[in-house]
């Protein structure tokens, strides 16, 4: 894999096909709608959003999926257990296949949950 040095989320998005860019932009817009105070950053060479010193959520794109990432709490995984069925999920990543519509309502609820869990 080629070494990257992204300086911005826009720079990250630009290296992907338009369809993938649009999917990532949808996630970006959801985050800004729920957490307008969140700062856009690149962390681990992928897009991330943080409030103060804490990270709200990360996302990244691949040929076959887009990942939402953060160390998920047990409470988070339990809360969304039914909706996570059929998705590839680890303790820190949820993969949304690119051959299916992006579940923006679900992603919105994930971001709201993370904001409440992390910043309340």
Query: How many domains is the chain built from?
Result: 1
Residue 3 lies in a domain: no
Residue 18 lies in a domain: yes
Residue 14 lies in a domain: yes
Decide if 107 contacts 68 (C-beta within 8 A).
yes
In this prediction the pTM is 0.94
Residue 26 lies in a domain: yes
113 Cα distance to chain centroid = 13
Residue of 80, 84, 69 lying closest to 27 (CA atoms): 69
Residue 120 lies in a domain: no
Range of the domain at 90: 9-115
Residue 108 lies in a domain: yes
CATH code of the domain containing 71: 3.90.1150.200
Over residues 40-96, the pLDDT tens digits come to 999 999 999 999 999 999 999 999 999 999 999 999 999 999 999 999 999 999 999
Over residues 20-36, the pLDDT tens digits come to 999 999 999 999 999 99
């Amino acid at each position: 894999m080629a070494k990257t040095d992204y300086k911005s989320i826009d720079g990250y998005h630009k290296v992907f096909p338009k369809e993938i860019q649009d999917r990532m932009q949808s996630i970006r817009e959801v985050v800004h709608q729920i957490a307008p105070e969140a700062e856009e950053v690149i962390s681990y060479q992928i897009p991330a959003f943080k409030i103060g010193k804490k990270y709200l959520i990360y996302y990244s794109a691949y040929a076959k999926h887009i990942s939402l990432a953060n160390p998920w709490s047990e409470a988070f995984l339990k809360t969304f257990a039914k909706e996570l069925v059929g998705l590839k999920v680890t303790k820190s990543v949820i993969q949304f296949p690119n051959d299916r519509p992006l579940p923006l309502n679900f992603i919105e609820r994930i971001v709201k949950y993370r904001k409440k869990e992390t910043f309340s």
